Amino acid sequence: MTTLTLGMNRRQKRVKALDSAGSRVPDCRVKPQQLIREHRGATVGAAVIIPLLVAAALAPFRDSVTPATDVLVLVAVVVAFGTTGMRAAGLAAALSAAAGFDFFLTQPYQSFAINDANDLEAAALLLVIGGLVTETALWGQRTDAALAREVGYVDGVLATAESVSADQLGPEEHARLVSQRICEVLDLDSCRFELGGTLDPTVPTLNHDGSITRAGRSVDVKRDGLPVDSVTALPVRSGGALRGYFVLTAASHVARPNERQRRVAVLLADQIAATLNDAPR
């Protein structure tokens, strides 16, 4: 059995630049969400302090400004922190706004007692809005992240297909590139391609439909993840014959790629078959 190429481990795949087939110019701009994530403590601290400062700033105008207006101003502050997508920041801002509204803007002033039912409802409204906005922002970020991953999968497949169709790389380079893509898509520790050989029926196998079977039994990847006590084989066939297989390793952590990710990996593996037509069987 001949090892055609070794794939990339998780550390290497994060630091090694993509080759010419899939290279991209890195975006060096600092994005707001990235800046917020890098300063989580400061963001949560600001979420506690700023609503109190805003409520204190509104206190001199409480005789001329209605409580509804005060609530709207504080809601805007809560929404600003809720849209960071940090649950702690959104809830902290809501609690702080409710406390500031109670302490500075409701009678008796400078006390946390609330005698008016309407003021109590307003304080509760601040808490509810903070929770709703934060959870909505988190849902939106998860959706955006999922969409970005899907776009990344498609880009990876297209980039690999372009390299194969252009025939600019040899079989070893093609196998290495495909190994890298599969490693990224399935969140593996490593991936390598074995040329020729036969499949061990006891080894878990990633089938063409995206399912994984082990000794004839289906593996529930969503529940159990990829096998950590064994490698997983991803066969590569050409003309109905087995030409080799990718060895997928996820031993250091539980990887749970969904069915779409697994099918993308199969599609990537299929692309290497075109470069093996002239290889000895």
Distances from the Cα of 195 to the Cαs of 237, 267, 281, in angstroms?
11, 18, 9
Sheet of 232-238, strands arranged across? 2-5, 190-195, 241-249, 232-238, 205-206, 212-214, 217-218
CATH number for the domain formed by residue range(s) 2-20+171-276: 3.30.450
pLDDT in tens, 37-72: 677 888 899 999 999 999 999 999 988 888 888 888
- Distance CA(271)–CA(251), nearest Å, equals 26
How many DSSP H helices and E strands does the chain contain?
Answer: 9, 7
Q: Around 15, how many Cα atoms within 13 Å sit in the side-chain half-sphere? A: 4
- Residue 255's φ and ψ, nearest 5 degrees, are -95, 130
Burial class, 247, CB count within 10 angstroms (exposed 0-12 / middle 13-18 / buried 19+): buried
Q: Which amino acid is at 47?
A: A
Amino acid at 143: T
Distance from chain centroid for Cα 210 = 21
pLDDT number for residue 36 = 66
Which pLDDT score is estimated for 234? 94
Coil, strand, or helix at residue 243? strand
Q: What is the full DSSP assignment across 214-225?
A: ETTEE--HHHH-
Cα separation, 253 vs 270, whole angstroms: 26
How many of the other CB atoms lie within 10 Å of CB of 71? Answer: 22
What pLDDT is recorded for position 165? 57
Contact at 8 Å (CB) between 99 and 112?
A: yes
pLDDT of residue 29: 45
- Residue 205: the pLDDT is 94
CB 251 within 8 A of CB 189: yes
Instruction: Give the list of residues 6+ apart from residue 219 with CB closer than 8 angstroms, or none.
Output: 204, 211, 212, 213, 227
Q: In the prediction, which pLDDT does 48 show?
A: 93
pLDDT at 277: 59
pLDDT per residue of the chain (281 residues) written in tens, 0 to 9: 444 434 444 434 433 433 433 333 334 344 565 666 677 888 899 999 999 999 999 999 988 888 888 888 998 898 888 888 788 888 899 899 989 988 998 888 888 877 777 778 878 888 887 788 878 877 877 777 777 766 666 666 666 666 655 556 667 888 888 898 899 889 899 999 998 878 888 899 999 899 999 988 999 999 999 999 999 999 998 777 888 899 999 989 899 998 888 988 898 888 887 666 554 44
According to the model, what pLDDT value does residue 37 have?
A: 64
Q: What is the per-residue pLDDT across 100-147, written as a single tens digit (0 to 9) for each?
A: 988 998 888 888 877 777 778 878 888 887 788 878 877 877 777 777
Spans of all domains in the chain: 2-20+171-276, 32-143
Q: Answer whether 0.85 is exceeded by the pTM.
A: no
